[in-house]
Amino acid sequence: MFAMFSMAYSANAQYNVEGHKFFDNWSVGVEGGITTNAHDWNTPNGAIFGINLTKAVTPVVSFELGVGAGVNNNYNWLKVKSPNVIDNLNAIVSTKLNLMNWFCGYKGAPRFFEVQARGGFGYQRWFFPSEWINGENNNDLSRPVAKFGFDFDFNLGESKAWTVSLRPAVVMNLTNDPVGTGYFTGCVYADKCEAYGHHVVGQVTAGVTYHFKTSNGTHHFATVKPQVVTETVEKIVEKPVEKIVEKVVEKKVATGSSIYVVEFEQNKANLSNTAKATLDQIANGTTVIIDAYASPEGAKSYNQKLSQKRADAVKGYLENKGVKVADAKAHGAESKSSQRIVYVRIK
């Protein structure tokens, strides 16, 4: 169970979903059905009913607390009908794995039909007539149990707020207390104790579940577009893949213009021949102001550094040819429409 949970939780890491706060994805349901001794199917059936509280932590993994009771089904263990109407109470905590979402992926909403595997452990308290057990002062028995099975779910409605389920399962008594030992040492009515060694019962229940609304406005997890992490973007910009480098044709401004525009390639700060030709149009002795920018693909801090490198490259080239630079400012990427441009303005 632990291995299955770990694998499912890892598989779910690929999903980028919203609606996973603590109070999101809770549901409550009721169920009822029949149970019978799995070793002797001729044993008469008894009835069971219960209520379940479920918390989904991912589209694959959820946890469920089920509290239930058995009606006239003590004989599933003993082959004899107990005179008590409520024969046992139980509480079982289970892990549920949505096999459809695990293997086929989560599409942003529950499918109409889904299959979930479940497994868990709990505690049962049984109520016996005191005269059945010789020398016992109490008239009840308690035992740890394990429950495993499948949920065949039908998610109804456009909002998928309701689920109708068919739930076959097996319940195992973990005490391993055969006839003639433990609680039943000296059993007065041997015929009532002969089947106590049958430690497995089968169950089939049907249930209805309501899924409470989540913080995303739906009754389930909702998918969102992946958000790029700043550090990841910065690494990509620092070492760009060659095939995504965009070649930009530099704009040449006519001689005599008061503003000269120089464009750069993506993630570059070196001057191309076209850029140098544009800057060569500025006469020696002219005083200019430089404003450098970057495109918005990278992180804010990286764009600021990149635009500063571009400003320094233009400033150094102009000063080497006798142009005075009054100011050189780096602006980074000021908006989503910001470009890889340096403006040189005649002062």
pLDDT in tens, 82-96: 566 787 889 999 999
Question: 51: which DSSP letter?
Answer: E
Output the pLDDT for position 41: 58
Ranges of CATH 2.40.160.20 domains, the chain: 2-223
Output the pLDDT for position 194: 46
Judge whether residue 148 has pLDDT over 80: yes
Topology adopted by domain 2-223:
Porin (2.40.160)
Residue pLDDT, tens place only, 184-242: 444 444 444 444 444 678 899 999 999 999 988 889 888 754 444 444 444 444 444 44
Q: Are strands 46-56 and 26-37 parallel, antiparallel or unpaired?
A: antiparallel
What average pLDDT is seen over the chain?
77
Residue pLDDT, tens place only, 314-329: 999 999 999 999 999 9
Output the pLDDT for position 181: 38
Measured between alpha carbons, how far is 236 from 252 in angstroms, rounded to an integer? 30
Judge whether residue 253 has pLDDT over 70: no
Output the pLDDT for position 257: 56
Q: Are 28 and 210 in contact (CB under 8 A)?
A: yes
Output the pLDDT for position 46: 78
Output the pLDDT for position 98: 95
Considering only 8-12, 139-143, 181-185, 236-240, which range has the smallest mean pLDDT?
Answer: 181-185
Cα 184-77-197 angle, rounded to 5 deg: 60
Ranges of CATH 3.30.1330.60 domains, the chain: 241-346
Topology adopted by domain 241-346:
60s Ribosomal Protein L30; Chain: A; (3.30.1330)
Which parts of the chain fold into alpha helices (H)? 2-11, 75-78, 99-104, 190-193, 230-238, 273-279, 300-320
Measured between alpha carbons, how far is 125 from 127 in angstroms, rounded to an integer? 7
Give residues with Cβ within 8 angstroms of 194, minimum separation 6.
Answer: 78, 79, 179
